[in-house]
Amino acid sequence: MPKIHNIAKNTSYLTLALVMQKVISFTYFTLLARYLGPADLGKYYFAISFTTIFAIFIDLGFANVLTREIAKDQSKAQRLLGNVLGLKLPLALIAILAVLGLINVFHYDPFVKILVYISCVSMVLDSFTLTFFSAARGFHNLKFESISSVIFQLIVLVIGYSALLMGGGLIPAMAALALASLYNFIYSLSILVHKLKIAVKIVYDKPIIKMIVNISWPFALFAIFQRLYTYLDSVLLAFFAGDVQVGLYQIAFKIIFALQFLPMAFTASLYPAMSSYWHSNRQQLAISFERSLNYLSIISWPLIIGVLLLADKIVLLFKSGFGTAVLPLQISMISLFFIFINFPIGALLNACDRQRRNTLNMGIVAVFSVILNLVLIPRWQAVGASITVLVSSILMFVLGITVISRIIDYRPVKNLLVLLKSLASAVIMGALIWFGKEYIHILILIPTGGILYFYFLYLFGGFQKEDISSVLKSFKL
């Protein structure tokens, strides 16, 4: 199979799986929130956030190294995998001890501790699943991983929600997550052994271990900073403000997180083209980057304006107890524009051999986010955490965009014009939503608003037919 066709096929698998995974995950979150209420929802996601932070210390960038080095020489797959497993086993033990130790040092509620213990099982299983699938990626195979990610979410949805309906409560719901992780672990291991014919053995080869550690540390730092930036706010909220505030904040967090499949899928397709253009066609690289910002700007603004105006109705999906989640959701939604365009900025830095700068940027933002959360959460609780998300996203954008002009011939004026046209079209759409939301059903109002947005954007010259075809062509190397 030709290499380019293989990339396109893998991208299709991953994109489809990502969309399905997000839909199922958000459906389960909505059902969970409606059934549990803010306090219990906060306990559930505190346990997950707490263990997720420590999960990165089991895989210190090894997954990226494993994929890259196996892709270079597939005959070394077994030795590389064996040494990575040899590194991860003691790290997994240390991570487990750290989780168990800290959760008891801070004297959390015994019930919350049980949730953390069960989530810890998922943490370890998921980390080794990541290793197995990373090895499979080295063979240019994402099909099985894509299928497994969807089945994982289905297991969580069906078993978790069934347990809740039968009166099982939070512990069986968390156990459903551990059961799905166990399925993923067994499935990924079987793919390596039976499909790719790789024997899974622990190996300690000093030269290979040294090589893995030397290559992995920039990836490890970026992942640590990113994990702290993404999940520490929920832990700090639980510590300073309590479980209810964690539950309220999760409404905004999950909606933002669910919508990120749009830039993730787009950037996954664009990144190989950026990498190629960096070495062969710098002019086309600049054009592709500018158009990627235009595309994500066009997509983000109707979402932002729509959620800002319909936040009160959206929150009602999660029952009346979540009414005070409206303001955190509105603040967080403003950050969506910066979150979206930070994806192609980060992709460009990585594609153009500026991954260390990207890691430095994430480190600065992570430290800033922690400090700001420590200041704002005790004062404004979930609202403070949402303000931190907004300010941190802007900071990440500023740190990234200031470097771009040193890499490519970047002309921000074109992006600014599209931004203004997108914003103007979104405001017109917003006027329809504002005046019509009391009279028109939301299921009719949303698509009507979307049509109106793109109609005015087209009239304003925000996009043309050739822009769409050009972006599609940029994915074809």
pLDDT digits (tens, 9 = 90+) for 284-297: 888 888 888 988 89
What is the pLDDT at residue 473?
52
Q: Which of 188, 204, 220 is the last residue of a domain?
A: 204
94 within domain boundaries: yes
pLDDT value at residue 2 = 39
Confidence band of 6 (pLDDT split at 50, 70, 90): very low
User: Is the residue at 328 inside a domain?
Assistant: yes
Considering the domain architecture, whether residues 242 and 165 belong to the same structural domain is answered as: no
Percent of the chain with pLDDT over 90: 22
Q: What is the pLDDT of residue 398?
A: 94
Please say if the pLDDT value at position 7 is more than 50.
Answer: no
Q: 269 and 407 share a domain?
A: yes
Bigger pLDDT: 474 vs 145: 145
Most confident of the ranges 76-90, 152-166, 228-242: 152-166
Q: Which residue among 189, 204, 219 closes a domain?
A: 204
Give the pLDDT band (50/70/90) at residue 3.
very low
pLDDT computed for residue 121 by the predictor? 92
Mean pLDDT over 156-175 rounds to: 86
**How would residue 84 be classed by pLDDT, with cut points 50, 70 and 90?**
confident
Per-residue pLDDT at 466: 61
- pLDDT at position 65 over 90: no
Lowest average pLDDT, out of 383-392, 402-411, 463-472, goes to 463-472
Residues 300 and 340 in one domain: yes
Report the pLDDT value the prediction gives residue 438, as an integer from 0 to 100: 79
Per-residue pLDDT at 269 exceeds 90? no
Same domain, 347 and 446: yes
Q: Verify that 374 and 247 share a domain, yes or no.
A: yes
- Whether 302 has a pLDDT exceeding 90, the answer reads yes
77 lies in a domain? yes
Same-domain status, 295 and 148: no
pLDDT for res 21: 79
User: Which of 24-28, 94-98, 117-121, 179-183 is the least confident region?
Assistant: 24-28
Same domain, 127 and 23: yes
Banded pLDDT at 1 (limits 50, 70, 90): very low
Report the pLDDT value the prediction gives residue 112, as an integer from 0 to 100. 87
Same domain, 20 and 65: yes
Of the listed ranges 17-31, 116-130, 300-314, 364-378, the least confidently predicted one is 17-31
Provide mean pLDDT across the span 73-94: 84
Query: Is residue 353 scored above 80 in pLDDT?
Result: no
Amino acid identity, residue 286?
A
**What is the rounded CA–CA span in Å between residue 172 and residue 162?**
9
Q: What is the pLDDT of residue 421?
A: 92
Say how far apart CA 19 and CA 246 lie, in whole Å.
26
**Structural domain includes residue 218:** no
**The pLDDT value given to residue 428:** 93
Phi-psi region of 3 (alpha: psi -120 to 50; beta: other; left: phi over 0): alpha
Which of 184, 204, 224 finishes a domain?
204
Whether residue 214 lies inside any domain: the answer is no
Tell me, yes or no, whether 246 lies in a domain. yes
The per-residue pLDDT for 465 is 64
pLDDT of residue 13: 59
Which pLDDT score is estimated for 107?
74
Across 95-109, 138-152, 328-342, 420-434, least confident range = 138-152
> Is-contact 289 344, C-beta < 8 A?
yes
Looking at the fold, whether 176 and 269 belong to one and the same domain comes out as no
Same domain, 271 and 418: yes
Average pLDDT score over residue span 43-69: 83
- Predicted confidence (pLDDT) per residue in 207-229, tens digit: 888 888 887 777 788 878 888 88
**pLDDT for the residue 372:** 94
Q: Mean pLDDT across the stretch 303-315?
A: 88
Same domain? For 44 and 155 the reply is yes
- Over the chain, what is the mean pLDDT? 83
- Residue 366 domain-assigned? yes
Which pLDDT band holds residue 477 (cuts at 50, 70, 90)?
Answer: very low
Mean pLDDT, rounded, for 45-49:
86
Q: Which domain holds residue 81?
A: 1-204
Per residue in 140-154, pLDDT (tens digit) is: 666 777 788 888 889
Domain count, the chain: 2
Q: Which residue has the higher pLDDT, 16 or 150?
A: 150
Band the pLDDT of 14: cuts 50, 70, 90. Answer: low
Domain assignment of residue 191, yes or no: yes
- pLDDT above 70 covers a percentage of the chain that reads 90
pTM of structure = 0.78
Answer yes or no: do 286 and 159 share one domain: no
